Amino acid sequence: MARISERIGAIAESATLKVDAKAKAMKAAGRPVIGFAAGEPDFPTPAHVVEAAAEAVRDPRNHRYSAVAGLPELREAIASKTLRDSGLDVGPGRVLVTNGGKQGVFQAFATLLDPGDEVIVPTPYWTTYPEAIRLAGGVPVEVLAGADQGYLVTVEQLEAARTPRTKVLLFVSPSNPTGAVHSPEQVRAIGEWADAHGLWVVADEIYQNLTYDGVEAVSIVAAVPALAERTLLVNGVAKTYAMTGWRVGWIVGPADAIAAAANMQSHATGNVANVSQRAAIAALTGPQDEVERMRRAFDRRRRAIVAGLNGIPGFATPVPQGAFYVYPDVSALLGRSWHGTHVASTLELADLLLEKAEVAPVPGEAFGPSGFLRFSYALGDEQLAEGVDRLTRFFA
Ligand SMILES: Cc1ncc(COP(=O)(O)O)c(C=O)c1O
């Protein structure tokens, strides 16, 4: 009998966290590493949110278990946000508050998948999706959309991947790791295709408020309202409100799926920490000017890093229109020697960059095939400029 179950033993360590940990360890040892790996805003949580939490800590009502699906006021606030940003009119009964979007992703797949059910996963994908799908007994089916198509998957590609076992389409726009945002026409075409084939959709909308160039991230349920009966929207406060550490996310979907997911949560974690839920209420219902200030800062950094990376021969960098990542195709730099080391993959390249240039991007292998690097631009402007300088010198 194996010490560790096959199911859990097969889970890979999160590659993004691994690079981040190595970069942090080097920093702690005194090396001036510039970290482009972290998937979180570098800003503190807005002050009025922190204040609401401080008040909540002192209120004994928040010291007790609360409803598994979330505090009623938070579920109301999420329903309002969903109507505003995703165009879907739901009552609070169709909202489940989770410990971060991550738990939302996990529970969405656990709720929908039986062993062998296939999920179409547009690739490059956020590193957690295939693991969450496999843990739920499902089979991730990767569909690669490369830099040449702006990382935007087409209906033809999705149709080519569809089989009688396909149950779910994963849809993520803006995307982590690419920052790509589907146009309203593309969202409608993909939504209509999913609807025509009776598929479920898991739509991760956690970056929906972080878009640039006047681009709007259109929700797949707004584009194709009929899909709402078979769609789980995943979202959270982490990225928009600089609240990664507070662990508040949610799923919105049809009543039966939300009730089933809540049943599961009642045995796994119970309610999300009440203080964090109170903070999330303040974030969603309070002033939004800090959100806009952070978005503008990301936009400025986005322009700076894209301009910088485009100046390096061998980097092919589609301009991201959402999230806070840029995802150059660097396959032209592989199969060569850099500073005396032969580099065959982006895993090796990222390691060499960390050692020799003290710059930490995440290798493409964390998100699908080799040949790409992910840079998060959620770091200070000066650090960003210095990091780009180091890369330019390294590849000169
Ligand atoms: C695409 C995507 N979805 C969901 C999450 C989960 O965020 P959290 O669990 O912090 O709410 C992340 C975090 O990196 C993400 O990039």
* Equal CATH topology for 6-44+290-395 and 63-285: no
Q: What is the pLDDT of residue 212?
A: 98
DSSP per-residue string spanning 355-390: III-EE-EEGGGGSSSSBEEEE--S-HHHHHHHHHH
Q: How far apart are CA 317 and CA 146, in angstroms?
A: 11
Best substitution site from 206, 208, 327 to test ligand 1's pocket, by max atoms within 8 Å of Cβ?
206
Ligand 1 within 6 A of CB of 205: no
Ligand 1 within 6 A of CB of 126: yes
- Mean pLDDT (10-residue bins), the chain, 396 residues: 90 75 89 91 96 98 98 98 97 97 98 98 96 96 96 98 98 98 98 98 98 97 98 98 98 98 97 98 97 97 96 94 98 96 94 94 94 95 96 95
Determine the CATH number of domain 6-44+290-395. 3.90.1150.10
Phi/psi at 216 (5° precision)? -115, 135
Which residue's CA is the closest to the ligand 1 atom numbered 13? 39
Give me Rg for the CA atoms of the chain: 21
| Residue 182: both structure tokens together | 């589907």
The alpha helices in 197-342, defined as continuous H runs, are 220-223, 255-268, 274-285, 289-310
Q: What is the pLDDT of residue 12?
A: 79
Q: What is the pLDDT of residue 333?
A: 97
Domain ranges of the chain: 6-44+290-395, 63-285
8-state DSSP, 197: T
Best substitution site from 99, 123, 125, 126 to test ligand 1's pocket, by max atoms within 8 Å of Cβ?
126
Name the strand (E) or helix (H) holding 95. Answer: strand 95-98
Distance 105 CA to ligand 1 centre (A): 9
Q: Which atom of ligand 1 is nearest to the CA of 16?
A: 14
* Residue in the structure block whose two tokens are 């739920």: 136
Q: What is the pLDDT of residue 5?
A: 93
Q: What is the pLDDT of residue 257?
A: 98
Ligand 1 within 6 A of CB of 244: yes
Q: What is the pLDDT of residue 344?
A: 96
Determine the CATH number of domain 63-285. 3.40.640.10
Report how far apart, in Å, the C-alpha atoms of 69 and of each of 97, 105, 201, 378 are.
5, 15, 21, 31
3-state helix, strand, coil in the chain (%, to 5): 50, 15, 35
Q: What is the pLDDT of residue 23?
A: 86
Model confidence, pTM: 0.96
| Residue 20: both structure tokens together | 């981040």
Best substitution site from 239, 272, 276, 327 to test ligand 1's pocket, by max atoms within 8 Å of Cβ?
239
